Amino acid sequence: MKEGTDRATAKIVPQDAPIVTLTDRAIAKVHSALAGSANIGVRLTVGREKGSFTYKFEYVAPDQIDPRDPALPCGAWTFSLNHETVDWIRGSEIDYVSSGFTQGWVIDNPNPAWDSELARRIAAVFDQTINPGLAQHGGRVALVDLKDTVAYVEMSGGCQGCSMATKTLRSGIMRVLADEFPELTGVVDTTDHSGGSSPYFKGDQQGTSPTF
């Protein structure tokens, strides 16, 4: 089974909301995938990493059923949710799209991918204020972790390996974060700049950093 993609927003889902809704296309995909198989269902496990959800679909054999896992109506088969991560997908719609070159699970997940309000606010500033400026140079920066009051970030695209990356971080990104979040005590760049394949400025080449 393939992993899915999601469209997550920062909205808290009530505990009494329906756990998950399967579309007819999702149910049909389970049926076609399991037809003629000794497996009896599919199990979905949700993860959270770097401000995004990850989804892992696994086949379930008759001796692998976990009675703690919520099960969804899925015709002759079972579609179960890992009980340890069910709250991260509560209120979602699971669909399967197969059209042209697009094929795979699509999960509309309304839950926040960060469990910290501060992390959600920092990630929003990256998306709304900082990244539009970095996009001028084909770059992007993302929050990958928040430990206490230290933000860990990762640069990509034109910013990865760019000779102006340090200046951009210190004079631009850190300035914006310091203004918006005085409670932050540090920003750490976790980027592997040696692996940059398309830096905007190379080696000793200098230029002007993006403005935010």
pLDDT digits (tens, 9 = 90+) for 21-70: 999 999 999 999 999 999 999 999 999 888 889 999 999 999 999 999 99
Q: What is the pLDDT of residue 10?
A: 47
User: How far is the C-alpha of 117 from the C-alpha of 83, rounded, in Å?
Assistant: 24
- Per the CB < 8 A criterion, the answer to whether 102 and 1 are in contact is no
Across 139-144, average pLDDT: 93
Same domain, 159 and 104: no
Please count the structural domains in the chain. 2
DSSP 36-74: T-S--EEEEEEEEETTEEEEEEEEE-GGG--TTS-EEEE
Choose the final residue of a domain: 84, 108, 132: 108
- Per the CB < 8 A criterion, the answer to whether 212 and 174 are in contact is no
Residue 150 lies in a domain: yes
Same domain, 92 and 140: no
User: Residue 87: helix, strand or coil by DSSP?
Assistant: helix
Residue 204 lies in a domain: no
Same domain, 79 and 128: no
Strand partners, 99: 102
User: How far is the C-alpha of 131 from the C-alpha of 139, rounded, in Å?
Assistant: 7
Residue 11 lies in a domain: yes
pTM to 2 decimal places: 0.70
Same domain, 15 and 93: yes
Cα radius of gyration (the chain)? 21
Residue 206 lies in a domain: no
Same domain, 102 and 124: no
Instruction: Tell me the average pLDDT of the chain.
Output: 87
CA distances from 44 to 10, 24, 81, 161 (A): 21, 17, 5, 37
Same domain, 125 and 58: no
pLDDT digits (tens, 9 = 90+) for 160-195: 989 889 899 998 999 999 999 999 999 999 999 988
Task: Show the domain range for 72.
Answer: 5-108
The domain that holds 145 is classified in CATH as 3.30.300.130
Same domain, 78 and 130: no
Same domain, 9 and 103: yes
The domain that holds 22 is classified in CATH as 2.60.300.12
